[in-house]
Structure 1
């Protein structure tokens, strides 16, 4: 419950490419200790030949299991299916893009980076070389190595599929820039963050849920506790702004 007796929303945390729900374990412990209900989702494109629509359905299925409002926290690639899903869900109060792809309708991950769409979108993108440096540069060594060992190939189709809807145009959103990110450089995050109603920064690499879960948990709860109607630092969703 909030201070005025209103039930808190449930936090749905959505992982990025090559990862799985396991990556949120440290953060969800912090959030649980703060009295928040949390849920995770397993995106089928990590480890299976699935595309954006499959991932979107997985997010929507989890949102339908939530009784009441939800705040969705999307990391990295997870921002793409979340953007599509929240346009269709009726219970999302806010979206938090954590070093995530806040794309618009018609855009894809490969297209955003100016990369060609493969002629054959089937198959997988291998786990990147040196994932510890890329994803976990500020995570303690043993924990970083353990995380890297759990990464799985990512479906190529998930990177080439384009969005058909952009939920952030109607649902309030906040962007969290990871200032020392080696996977999604801060300059790209700054561009994407311009689509959000508010922006925060955290002095972390790409995976603050592993490197600084306490600080990230405090920031997420601060965002989730604030109203999403344009007050207290939040602007209106893009579709409602006079810009």
Structure 2
């Protein structure tokens, strides 16, 4: 059995992971997916990390998984919970002391060729079943930008083994862009999966397969 700590992205909730949690639970794994205080103007990345660490509790040797903006929180969590593996999914990959607000300019996001999309469904949920996309929008929260201009407490990337999983149909973070950022910032080649920016909703089984395979590679799954 492995323990997965699942961190959502901007303006979202832990519910985002519910289908992946069901898949992992059916395979005998434990998961936790807290709601970050993303609508709280007084909360920054340190408070986000505190929320995750509190939710982890006394669980040991977890796999930390982060989506999108959650990539800024995940490395802060890893050292504090002694994570065995960090998996970044369609992520933002922070540099030490970087502010989330500066990330876009620092990574040359504006120079990337991207499509134009008129609404959140077309940008984030184009391959998610309509009823599920509507529920995701209903559950979403406002993302406070107050703390996003503060430098990250990250001083160096954790020693935790790290995998990056990008989505081939991601309209927010195009694959070419994320391949480049992953190599520039982590020096690794990312893995790839079909789907848009929110694979936990569009392809939960395939995502659970990947997470389980990563855990197995790290020796976290013991045959009973």
Structure-2-length-normalised TM-score: 0.85
**SS of alignment partner, residue 41 of structure 1:** coil
The structure 1 residue matched to 2:87, chosen from 83, 96, 99, is 96
**SS of alignment partner, residue 95 of structure 2:** coil
**SS of alignment partner, residue 58 of structure 2:** coil
- For 1:213-224, what aligned pairs fall within 5 Å after superposition? 213-224=204-215
- For 1:103-114, what aligned pairs fall within 5 Å after superposition? 103-114=94-105
* Higher RCO by CA contacts (8 Å cutoff, separation 6 or greater): 2
Q: Which runs of 5+ in 2 are unaligned?
A: 107-116, 220-224
1:21-54 CA distance string (max 9 Å, x none): 1111111001111111111111102x22221111
Distance in 2 between residues matched to 1:196 and 1:146, nearest whole Å: 37
Equivalent residue, structure 2, for 1:239:
none
Equivalent residue, structure 1, for 2:18:
25
Distance in 2 between residues matched to 1:17 and 1:74, nearest whole Å: 11
When residues 41 and 198 of structure 1 are mapped into structure 2, their CA distance, relative to the original with a 3 A threshold, is farther
- For 1:196-211, what aligned pairs fall within 5 Å after superposition? 197=188, 199-211=190-202
**SS of alignment partner, residue 48 of structure 1:** coil
**SS of alignment partner, residue 6 of structure 2:** strand
Task: Kindly report the root-mean-square deviation, in angstroms, between the aligned alpha carbons of the 2 structures.
Answer: 2.2
Question: Offset at 1:129?
Answer: 6.4
Contact 1:70 1:91 in 2 (8 A): yes
1:138-170 CA distance string (max 9 Å, x none): 001121112112211101034222223256441
Contact 2:62 2:81 in 1 (8 A): no
Structure-1-length-normalised TM-score: 0.78
